[in-house]
């Protein structure tokens, strides 16, 4: 059981480039999330998918798009990267019910630098 796996672990982008962060979970969870973590800001929700086929905006969705490809996979896309998107990105999943009290499990994180 790998849990939540995300790739790549490290990436450097030039301003204006695009890229997709991939995430997969093998726990048969219904809900998946993308967070970003910046120093002094805690973890902020970018987008989430309460169940397969649905996606919703979180606290900081601007500049991002997501795709819930199937139950296992939830990708995050930066269409035109900006230096303000330099951050650590965490994918996460939970059993069901969005945020109704199910434990959220995080991936190992993706360190993204935009120059």
Partner 1 sequence: GENVEQHPSTLSVQEGDSAVIKCTYSDSASNYFPWYKQELGKRPQLIIDIRSNVGEKKDQRIAVTLNKTAKHFSLHITETQPEDSAVYFCAASPTKLIFGTGTRLQVFP
Looking at beta carbons only, is 41 or 69 nearer to partner 1? 41
Angle in degrees, CA 14, 64, 54, rounded to 5? 150
Output the CA–CA distances (angstroms, integers) from residue 65 to 47, 55, 58, 83, in the order listed.
Answer: 8, 10, 11, 17
Residue 44 vs 71, nearer CB to partner 1: 44
The nearest distance, CB 60 to partner 1, in angstroms, is 12
In whole angstroms, the minimum distance from the beta carbon of 46 to partner 1 comes to 11
Distance CA 61, CA 55 (A): 11
How far apart are alpha carbons 107 and 16 in whole angstroms?
Answer: 26
Q: Which residues bind partner 1 (CB under 8 A)?
A: 40-45, 48, 58-59, 90, 98-101, 103-109
Q: In terms of CB distance, is 44 or 72 closer to partner 1?
A: 44
**Shorter beta-carbon distance to partner 1: residue 14 or 103:** 103
Residue 17 CB, nearest approach to partner 1 (Å) = 25
Cα dihedral across residues 18, 84, 5, 54: positive or negative: negative
């Amino acid at each position: 059981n790998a849990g939540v796996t995300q790739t790549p672990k490290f990436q450097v982008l030039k301003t204006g480039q695009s890229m997709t962060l991939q995430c997969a979970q093998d726990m048969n969870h219904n809900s998946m999330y993308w967070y970003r973590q910046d120093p002094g800001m805690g973890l902020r929700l970018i987008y989430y998918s309460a169940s397969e086929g649905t996606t919703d905006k979180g606290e900081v969705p601007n500049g991002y798009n997501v795709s819930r490809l199937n139950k296992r996979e939830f990708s995050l896309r930066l269409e035109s990267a900006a230096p303000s998107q330099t951050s650590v990105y965490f994918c996460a999943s939970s059993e069901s019910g969005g945020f109704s009290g199910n434990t959220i499990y995080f991936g190992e994180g993706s360190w993204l630098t935009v120059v």
